[in-house]
Amino acid sequence: MSESIIWYLREFLRTEWIRKFLLAKTDPLVTPPYFKDYPTLTGKECTACYQCMMICPAPGAIAVLRHDDGWRPEIYPGHCIRCGLCVEACPEDVLQSGRVLEAQHRDRTGFRATFHLSIDREICMRCGNCCISCPVGREGEPDGAVLKIEKGGVQILNSDLCTGCKTCEVNCPNRGIRVARVVEGVQEAAA
Amino acid sequence: MVTVEDGRIVAADNACTLGEQKFLGEPRLKGPIQREGKGWKDITYDEAILRTVEMLRDAERPLLFGWSGTHVEAQCIGVHMAEVLRGVIDNTSSVCHGPSILAIQEVGHPGCTLGQVKNRADLVVYWGCNPIEAHPRHLSRYTRYAEGFFLPNDYLDRTVIVADIRKTETGNIADEFVQVTPGGDYAVLSALRAIVRGKRDIIPRSVAGVPREQLFRIADRCLNAKFIAFYFGLGLTMSRGKYKNVRNAIELVSELNRHTKATISAMRGHYNVYGSNEVNTWMTGYPFGIDFARGIAFYNPGETTAIDVLARRECDACLVVASDPAAHFPRACVEHLADIPTVVIDPYPNATTAFADIQIPVAVTGIDAAGTAYRMDGVPIRMRRVLKTDYPSDEEILGRMYAMLQEDHPP
């Protein structure tokens, strides 16, 4: 009995073992180069084309905001799922995340999207939230708006100007307006 | 913009469902009608006015009710008529935002115009109201979606909190929805006042169905906001506690003004109910429910308000102007309305028509009559007419009645 206790004490009180136990070190954590973090700004100028908002699959994750010195996309980390689609969709390379931009340039990939707006006139209250919140045509001519309340309902004036950003859909209180998006990935032929 | 074709409005742009219905209108009465047996017969405007004046002359305690759906010029004549007749004049706010007015009389009204809200409010609270149903353009014109001078990113710069007993359509687009147990508004408002006062430790785990954490979060949102616009509806004025709820809400706003800027306003219903309160106040000193039986203006809500006068079967003739009491009053009141001679001055037949003896159709202010109306924030707006029709305005009809009544009582 006593022999085995001594054996154990010898075994566990070895200096080398105690040192190893207390000063153990794992390999340092290194972010791998392919890791996609929340998208960050590259510093290039945003043209407010809303492609990032159009492609984003997570509600409330990205918004293009107006600042004194121009437009900038804002990422809301609580909502963003770090899919990187906004980085890929932006035609101006305003955003970056991991190696998305690099891979996109290398492979010459992009998105081609078409949109279809539909309004349920039965439930539409004509509160105008969609028309007012729509970011298209705000600064230019009034005729440049996508939506307007006239002739007894919300009318789609310029469907070709729709960017598919879904602002109208998100801000409709009774889901009276829906934006159907058909997006396909495209790749340019190598030169 | 209104499109007129062949003397009829065929389209109203930028109007909500409710606004469009007002402009396009239901079938209007062609001329005055008088009940005859089980049916109606057509009479002339002169006959209708004369019979109404006779009815009012013969009455000992006439009630002049409504006034919220007409212009202030007509409302002025209404007050003069009530004085000459020694009758009771009341408007629809006695069954609507009357409690709000009682609360304002107690603690004041820290309010502002909608323009201020549009340009400054970064936090909007809707309490006990559902503007998407009742004031559909409120959010897009003045609050959440309006591009403000200090809020260039409109809805992304603003936060909206909705408090109600059930999730409404406005709640669907709110940043925070607070579900209050029916009748629990007073307690929740008191809890928020305590939190704003710094007494977080006394708040129980849940107040009227609202968890403590949510109350803290709402209070923090309020304290961190630069400008708060608080709007309340009948959910606050007509639930348990009535004017005390509104008083508590006003006092919460008052507390918040120690930390930031905050304003509170009522979501008024009829387009000129505010005007009716203004006219009554500047002419008699009281906003609604004014009794001239003593020869001077006497005001005692609960005694001189339309519901009470009718429920006590006290009045013996009723002139209803631009409102629909039969659709909103308790059964006992409507029964009495059916028993006494009643005249309705309204462009459209409504539920009260069924209980009336005479209905006089008039021009609609803002469509075929011009006039002044007070917006819900107390801003008087001159309304132009877009059509010319043969219908006389409320002001014309009432003016003729008043002139005839004045003959009985020369000044």
Contacts of A127 in chain B (CB under 8 A): 16, 132, 136-137, 139-140
pLDDT cut 70: percent of chain A above it: 96
Tokens of B322: 């631009």
Domains of chain A: 31-110 (3.30.70.3270), 116-185 (3.30.70.20)
Q: What confidence tens digit (pLDDT) does each residue in B380-389 have?
A: 999 999 989 9
Which pLDDT does position B11 carry in this prediction? 85
Q: What is the CA radius of gyration of chain B?
A: 23
DSSP A46: B
Residue B140 touches chain A, beta carbons under 8 Å: yes
Confidence of residue B319 (pLDDT cuts 50, 70, 90): very high
Q: What confidence tens digit (pLDDT) does each residue in B170-181 have?
A: 999 999 999 999
C-alpha dihedral (B3, B5, B7, B8), degrees to nearest 10: -60
Which pLDDT does position B21 carry in this prediction? 86
CB count within 10 Å of CB A38 equals 14
- pLDDT over 60 (residue B111): yes
Strand partners, B343: B319, B358
- What's chain B's average pLDDT? 94
Find the residue in A nearest to B9 (Cα). A151
Which pLDDT does position A142 carry in this prediction? 62
Interface test with A, best of B142, B153, B176 (most A CBs within 10 A): B153
In the stretch 160-219 of chain B, residues with CB closer than 8 A to chain A read 169-170, 172-173
Confidence of residue B291 (pLDDT cuts 50, 70, 90): very high
The phi and psi torsions of B150 (rounded to 5 degrees) equal -100, 5
The arithmetic mean of pLDDT across residues B68-88, rounded, is 96
The phi and psi torsions of A145 (rounded to 5 degrees) equal -80, 150
In the stretch 165-184 of chain A, residues with CB closer than 8 A to chain B read 171-174
- pLDDT over 70 (residue B118): yes
- Chain-chain contact of A131 with B146 (C-beta, under 8 angstroms): no
Which of B232, B217, B242, B302 has the alpha carbon at shortest distance from B263? B232
Q: What confidence tens digit (pLDDT) does each residue in A108-137 have?
A: 999 999 999 999 999 998 999 999 999 887
Domains of chain B: 2-11+26-96+271-408 (3.40.50.740), 98-266 (3.40.228.10)
CB burial of B25-49 (b: ≥16 within 10 Å; e: otherwise) equals eeebbeebbbbeeeebeebebeebb
In the stretch 12-71 of chain B, residues with CB closer than 8 A to chain A read 12-17, 20, 24
Tokens of B302: 């609960």
Residues B90, B242: contact at Cβ < 8 Å? no
Query: Of B14, B152, B169, which has the smallest distance from its Cβ to A149's Cβ?
Result: B14
- Chain-chain contact of A173 with B170 (C-beta, under 8 angstroms): yes
The arithmetic mean of pLDDT across residues A152-156, rounded, is 87
Contacts of B155 in chain A (CB under 8 A): 133, 171
How many Å lie between the alpha carbon of A182 and the closest alpha carbon of chain B?
A: 26
C-alpha dihedral (B269, B274, B276, B280), degrees to nearest 10: 140
Q: What confidence tens digit (pLDDT) does each residue in A73-111 have?
A: 999 999 999 999 999 999 999 999 989 999 999 999 999
Which pLDDT does position B142 carry in this prediction? 95
- Chain-chain contact of B173 with A125 (C-beta, under 8 angstroms): no
In the stretch 92-151 of chain A, residues with CB closer than 8 A to chain B read 124-129, 131-133, 138, 148-151
How many Å lie between the alpha carbon of B189 and the closest alpha carbon of chain A?
A: 26
Which pLDDT does position B120 carry in this prediction? 96
Residues B215, B155: contact at Cβ < 8 Å? no
Q: What confidence tens digit (pLDDT) does each residue in B235-271 have?
A: 999 999 999 999 999 999 999 999 999 999 999 999 9
Greater confidence, A17 or B246? B246
Which pLDDT does position B411 carry in this prediction? 63
Contacts of B1 in chain A (CB under 8 A): 150
ipTM for the complex?
A: 0.84
Interface test with B, best of A64, A75, A119, A132 (most B CBs within 10 A): A132
The arithmetic mean of pLDDT across residues B97-120, rounded, is 96
Name the least confident of A69-73, B45-49, B198-202, B259-263: A69-73
Contacts of A125 in chain B (CB under 8 A): 16-17, 132-133, 136, 169
CB burial of B231-242 (b: ≥16 within 10 Å; e: otherwise) equals bbbbbbbbbebb
The arithmetic mean of pLDDT across residues B283-310, rounded, is 96
- What's chain A's average pLDDT? 89
Q: What confidence tens digit (pLDDT) does each residue in B322-345 have?
A: 999 999 999 999 999 999 999 999
- Chain-chain contact of A65 with B153 (C-beta, under 8 angstroms): yes
Confidence of residue B390 (pLDDT cuts 50, 70, 90): very high
CA dihedral sign, ordered A69, A73, A77, A78: positive
Which pLDDT does position A167 carry in this prediction? 92
- 3-state secondary structure labels for all residues of chain B: CEEEECCEEEEECCCCHHHHHHHHCCCCCCCCEEEECCEEEECCHHHHHHHHHHHHHHCCCEEEEECCCCCHHHHHHHHHHHHHHCCEEEEHHHHCCHHHHHHHHHHCCCCCCHHHHHHHCCEEEEECCCHHHHCCCHHHHCCCCCCECCECCHHHHCEEEEEECCCCHHHHCCCEEEECCCCCHHHHHHHHHHHHCCCHHHCCCEECCEEHHHHHHHHHHHHHCCEEEEEECHHHHCCCCCHHHHHHHHHHHHHHCCCCEEEEEECCCCCCHHHHHHHHHHHHCCCCCEECCCCCCEECCCCCCHHHHHHCCCCCEEEEECCCHHHHCCHHHHHHHHHCCEEEECCCCCHHHHHCCEEECCCCECCCECEEEECCCCCEEEECCCCCCCCCCHHHHHHHHHHHHHHHCCC
How many Å lie between the alpha carbon of A171 and the closest alpha carbon of chain B?
A: 6
Confidence of residue B5 (pLDDT cuts 50, 70, 90): confident
- pLDDT over 60 (residue B222): yes
Long-range contacts of B401-406 (CB under 8 A, 24+ apart): B401/B49, B401/B52, B401/B53, B401/B56, B401/B81, B402/B77, B402/B80, B402/B81, B402/B84, B404/B49, B404/B50, B404/B53, B405/B53, B405/B56, B405/B57, B405/B81, B405/B84, B405/B85, B406/B84
The arithmetic mean of pLDDT across residues B44-52, rounded, is 96
- Chain-chain contact of A126 with B172 (C-beta, under 8 angstroms): no
Contacts of B13 in chain A (CB under 8 A): 148-151
- pLDDT over 80 (residue A141): no
